[in-house]
């Protein structure tokens, strides 16, 4: 197993870095934060044209069939610039879920459209009280022959207001399962949530006898969701590492140019040491993200414990670095106009969206105990 | 450097060891054989006990020696006296000092830190005054390992008092076994005594043992310190590959289970937190070792010491939480408490020794992040005019 990038992977990173610099500068991020759709359809088409939307989708379904390492490379760059796009939900979580469910007709229908940029899809897995999938969903599924209807509420749904399709976890009499619900289905209402991080939109679904299609069979939802969340977490921690790296750099750059008392504030040890602590956290998060990606690609037996540990670590690291960046900036960092707070908002969301760091740490100890 | 392949080196050293390792051979004879064969310092020239191999090949030789339990190789990385003299000594010094040191016939220690010159080493006050062909040395050094068995001390002493502090220091190979050198062990907070204080009163060092120019000692010291840091990095890596890794991973869960607190949600969080520090540091080290980007490697290596301090302090803190009141007890009748307290106190060895965490943060901030240094108002002030 190696964390060294191949020439191809380096080229991929450079290409994504270039695109992000052009299409996700702060002005664009601010514009999309204020926009209900939360993304730029032209940029989305560009991502599709570059093969990034189908990055992890197998070639038979119109994608590039790339591994976790490529996904981490791309996600790190997106995280650096707070890209506003439904990438995590549509291009990462949904494909991994459909593949884990093993529903080949749904894969054949949805994945090529996702890869081409023609379908925005998301997963409705959480109910009130936890961002993780509930063991016993309240949302219920009722069968009438081949026809299913869903009733209940789902929340913390990524990119809900722009999604064409939702994959919804629900409980039937014979077990939990995933169901596809299309936008505009009868009895479905989608409401935006007011989020702290406006670069990552979320919504709430209310389903009332809403027609749905069963995907992958009853009883498969829990395992498939867990697998999809784990694989998608490889992207999330890479985003966190990228965001932390950028926030650290902002602080160090500012500390080198901002003068008080006749000297750059970075020459004061109190400030210098904060910057070094940020560097340690950002670099460590980056090592963790790369290691976990390589471990998934190599199917290392310890990869889930490594992921659990890394997810707890990267979540806290990004929050720490983003928060400390505000402190290093002082007064200007307390203003809305300065981008420092955007990273803290993103960091605090990323530290919850797939479960909080305590949840991941508990999972780590549980996995280690079983060994 | 020769164009021998790694496999060629491995085969040759194995073959040589097979033909020469003999329990009947005494220490001196063995060292001579190793030296003559060019295994003492494999990456150096034959006259200094080497055979012109690469640095990586020298490690291969060391690994082969270790495999059969043989000693006597690796002076090109571990012998600070020989490394320093080989680079900056005169021809006469090299011939007189390197071979016996590399063969282990003479031993050395380091006389750098002083009670008044720790983080600010250039503020040292041990003096050397020229007297004919000798220099007369007076002062006090601290944190010296192996002072009692050493023949020579690598000594930095002040020879110029009317120039700025960095410019008045000279570097000597100082004979330890003479009147006027008094060695006292330092009792550490752990109860151990690995280090000594060395009191020097009117002791002599021949002018012939001055390395570099009078007043040029700071430059020589930087080189010697670079070799020392490289050696410490080597030792840290060796330690990691053998036993330092596992205890961190296993013992916290094992210790908590034994103490009956593994079910405690708070303890479980603390265990995961401490283990994540150790694990991400391991991943940092792996990345540093495998990357081809030199800046990336340098950044990660520079952070390693700060990270290790935190790992040791945090792990000891979590162990304290796990064992609870046992941590009040020590001694052989309380092995668990004793071990936890030892780790708690010994963590300072890393967070203070070899440059405090705070100095290390200054270095990383300046060299890696490019942040400006603190203004140095006394940069051009003669040492004798400094406030103290």
Tens of pLDDT, residues A8-41 = 999 999 999 999 999 999 999 999 999 999 999 9
State the Cα angle at A134 between A131 and A139, rounded to 5°: 105
Return the pLDDT at A174: 92
d(CA A252, CA A283): 14
The enclosing domain of A321 has a CATH number of: 1.20.140.10
Final residue before a domain boundary, out of A66, A84, A118? A118
As a whole number, mean pLDDT of residues B256-280 equals: 97
- From the candidates B64, B228, B314, B321, give the one annotated as an active-site residue: B228
Kindly report the CATH number assigned to the domain that includes residue A11: 1.10.540.10
One domain for residues A65 and A203: no
**Looking at residue B248, what is its pLDDT?**
42
For residues A227 and A316, state if they share a domain: yes
Same-domain check for residues A296 and A244: yes
> Percentage of chain B surpassing pLDDT 90?
82
Give every residue of chain A whose pLDDT is below 70, as ranges: none
* Residue B252 in this model has a pLDDT that exceeds 60: yes
Q: How many CB atoms lie within 10 A of CB A313?
A: 31
Q: Is the pLDDT reported for residue B204 higher than 90? A: yes
Is B245 a residue whose pLDDT tops 80? no
How do residues B330-374 score in pLDDT, each as one tens digit? Answer: 999 999 999 999 999 999 999 998 889 999 999 999 999 999 999
For residue A197, CA distances in Å to A1, A339, B136, B253, B350 come to: 36, 12, 70, 37, 40
pLDDT above 70 coverage of chain B, percent = 95
Give the three-state DSSP class for B179.
coil
Does B231 have pLDDT greater than 90?
no
> Are residues A155 and A17 both part of a single domain?
no
Give pLDDT, residue B347. 94
CATH number at residue A154: 2.40.110.10
Is the same domain home to A355 and A230? yes
Q: b/e map of B230-243 (b: 16 or more CB within 10 Å)?
A: ebeeeebeeeeeee
Give the tens place of pLDDT for each residue, B32-73.
999 999 999 999 999 999 999 998 899 999 999 999 999 999
**Would you say A199 and A346 are in contact if contact means Cβ atoms under 8 Å apart?**
yes
Say whether A140 sits in a helix, a strand or coil.
strand
Q: Tell me the chain A residues in contact with residue B253 when contact means C-beta distances shorter than 8 Å.
A: 365, 368-369
Q: How high is the pLDDT of residue B249?
A: 41
Which chain A residue has its CA at the smallest distance from B265's CA? A362
Placement of tokens 């003999």 in the chain:
B22
**Structural domain that includes position A258:** 223-370
Determine the Cα–Cα distance for residues B323 and B337; give it in Å rounded to an integer.
7
Looking at residue B238, what is its pLDDT? Answer: 52
At the topology level, CATH places domain B108-215 in: Butyryl-CoA Dehydrogenase, subunit A; domain 2 (2.40.110)
Q: Quote the mean pLDDT of chain B.
A: 92
Given pLDDT bands bounded at 50, 70 and 90, which one contains residue B23?
A: confident
Query: How far away is chain B from the Cα of A70, in angstroms, using its nearest Cα?
Result: 17
- One domain, residues A364 and A245: yes
Of B351, B337, B251, B241, which Cα lies nearest the Cα of B289? B241
> Mutating which of B120, B265, B276 best tests the A interface, going by the most A Cβ atoms within 10 A?
B276
Residue A332 included in any domain: yes
Domain end: A118, A136, A153, which one?
A: A118
Question: Within chain B, which residue ranges are assigned CATH 2.40.110.10?
Answer: 108-215
Shared domain for A215 and A187, answered yes or no, is yes
Of residues B44 and B235, the one with the higher pLDDT is: B44
Pair A233, A349 in one domain: yes
Residue of B nearest to A263 (CA): B375
Per the CB < 8 Å rule, is B280 touching A252? no
Query: A253, A263, A287, A328: which to substitute to probe chain B, counting the most B Cβ within 10 Å?
Result: A287
Q: What is the pLDDT of residue B236?
A: 60
- Asked if the structure places residue A1 within a domain, the reply is no
- Bridge-based pairing of strands B152-158 and B108-111 is parallel
Residue A338: partners with Cβ closer than 8 Å, 6 or more residues away:
A329, A332
- pLDDT of B216 above 90: yes
Nearest to A368 among B253, B269, B273 (CB): B253
Residues A113 and A127 in one domain: no
Superfamily of domain B222-367: Butyryl-CoA Dehydrogenase, subunit A, domain 3 (1.20.140.10)
Q: Is residue A2 part of a domain?
A: no
Which of A87, A118, A149 terminates a domain? The answer is: A118
Count of domains for chain A: 3
User: Is-contact A70 A12, C-beta < 8 A?
Assistant: yes
The answer to the question of residue A233 being in a domain is yes
- CA B243 to CA B319: how far, in whole Å? 18
Q: In terms of domains, do A249 and A358 share one?
A: yes
Tell me: pLDDT of B233 over 80: no
Residues of chain A contacting residue B372, judged by C-beta atoms under 8 Å apart: 256, 263-264, 266-267
Same domain, A194 and A241: no
Structure tokens at A89: 């939900």
CATH 1.20.140.10, chain B: domain bounds: 222-367
B28 pLDDT higher than 50:
yes
User: Does B1 score more than 60 pLDDT?
Assistant: no
Which residues, listed in sequence order, are joined to residue B185 by a DSSP beta bridge? B196
Looking at the DSSP assignment, which residues form a beta bridge with residue B293?
none
Position B287 scores a pLDDT of: 93
**Both A202 and A297 in a single domain?**
no
Is A303 in contact with A295 (CB distance < 8 Å)? yes
Quick check: is B228 catalytic? yes
| H/E run at residue B177 | none
């Amino acid at each position: 197993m190696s964390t060294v990038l191949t020439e191809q992977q380096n080229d991929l990173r450079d290409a994504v870095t270039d695109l992000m610099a052009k299409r996700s500068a702060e002005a664009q991020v601010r514009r999309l934060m204020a926009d209900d759709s939360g993304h730029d359809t032209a940029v989305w088409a560009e991502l599709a044209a570059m093969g990034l939307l189908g990055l992890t989708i197998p070639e038979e379904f119109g994608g590039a069939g790339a591994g976790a390492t490529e996904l981490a490379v791309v996600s790190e760059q997106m995280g650096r610039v707070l890209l506003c796009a439904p990438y995590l939900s549509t291009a990462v979580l949904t494909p991994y879920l459909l593949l884990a469910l093993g529903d080949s007709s749904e894969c054949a229908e949805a994945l090529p459209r996702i890869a081409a940029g023609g379908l925005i899809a998301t997963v409705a897995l959480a109910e009130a009280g936890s961002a993780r999938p509930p063991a016993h969903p309240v949302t219920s599924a009722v069968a009438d022959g081949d026809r299913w209807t869903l009733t209940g509420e789902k929340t913390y749904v990524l990119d809900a207001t722009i999604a064409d399709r939702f994959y919804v976890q629900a409980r039937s009499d014979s077990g939990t399962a995933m169901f596809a619900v299309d936008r505009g289905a009868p009895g479905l209402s989608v409401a935006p949530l007011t989020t702290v991080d406006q670069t990552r939109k979320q919504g709430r679904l209310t389903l009332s006898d809403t027609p749905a299609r069963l995907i992958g069979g009853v009883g498969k939802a829990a395992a498939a969701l867990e697998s999809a969340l784990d694989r998608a977490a490889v992207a999330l921690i890479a985003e966190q590492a990228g965001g932390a790296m950028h926030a650290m750099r902002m602080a160090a750059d500012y500390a080198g140019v901002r003068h008080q008392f006749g000297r750059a504030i970075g020459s004061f040890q109190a400030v210098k040491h904060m910057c070094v602590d940020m560097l340690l956290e950002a670099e460590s998060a980056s090592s963790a993200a790369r290691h976990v990606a390589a471990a998934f690609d190599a199917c290392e037996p310890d990869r889930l414990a490594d992921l659990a540990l890394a997810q707890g670590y990267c979540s806290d690291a990004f929050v720490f670095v983003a928060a400390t960046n505000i402190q290093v900036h002082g007064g200007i960092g307390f203003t809305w106009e300065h981008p420092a707070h955007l990273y803290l908002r993103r960091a605090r969301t990323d530290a919850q969206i797939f479960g909080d760091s305590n949840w991941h740490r508990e999972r780590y100890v549980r996995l280690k105990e079983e060994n | 450097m020769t164009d021998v392949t790694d496999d060629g080196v491995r085969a040759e050293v194995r073959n040589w060891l097979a033909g020469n390792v003999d329990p009947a051979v005494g220490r001196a004879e063995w060292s001579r054989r190793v030296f003559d064969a060019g295994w003492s310092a494999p990456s150096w020239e034959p006259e200094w006990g080497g055979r012109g191999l690469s640095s990586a090949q020298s490690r291969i030789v060391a690994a082969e020696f270790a495999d059969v339990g043989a000693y006597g190789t690796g002076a090109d990385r571990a012998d600070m006296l020989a490394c320093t003299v080989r680079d900056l000594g005169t021809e006469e010094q090299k011939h007189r000092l390197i071979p016996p040191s590399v063969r282990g016939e003479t031993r050395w220690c380091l006389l750098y830190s002083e009670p008044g010159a720790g983080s600010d080493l250039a503020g040292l006050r041990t003096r050397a005054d020229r007297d004919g062909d000798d220099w007369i040395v007076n002062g006090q050094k601290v944190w010296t390992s192996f002072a009692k068995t050493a023949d020579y001390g690598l000594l930095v002493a002040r020879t110029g008092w009317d120039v700025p502090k960095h410019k008045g220091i000279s570097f000597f190979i100082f004979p330890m076994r003479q009147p006027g050198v008094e060695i006292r062990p330092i009792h550490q907070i752990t109860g151990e005594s690995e280090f000594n204080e060395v009191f020097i009163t009117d002791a002599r060092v021949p002018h012939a043992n001055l390395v570099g120019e009078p007043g040029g000692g700071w430059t020589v010291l930087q080189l010697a310190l670079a070799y020392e840091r490289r050696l410490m990095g080597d030792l840290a890596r060796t330690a990691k590959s053998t036993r330092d890794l596992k205890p961190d991973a296993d013992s916290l869960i094992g210790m908590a289970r034994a103490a009956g607190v593994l079910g405690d949600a708070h303890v479980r969080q603390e265990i995961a937190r401490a283990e994540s520090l150790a694990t991400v540091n391991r991943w940092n080290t792996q990345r540093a070792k495998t990357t081809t980007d030199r800046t990336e490697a340098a950044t990660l290596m520079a952070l390693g010491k700060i990270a290790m301090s935190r790992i040791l302090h945090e792990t000891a803190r979590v162990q304290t939480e796990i064992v609870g009141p046992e941590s009040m007890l020590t001694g052989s009748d309380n092995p668990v408490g004793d071990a936890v307290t030892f780790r708690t106190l010994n963590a300072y060895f890393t967070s203070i020794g070899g440059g405090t965490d705070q100095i290390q943060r200054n270095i990383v901030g300046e060299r890696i992040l490019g942040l400006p240094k603190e203004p140095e108002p006394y940069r051009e002030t003669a040492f004798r005019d400094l406030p103290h």
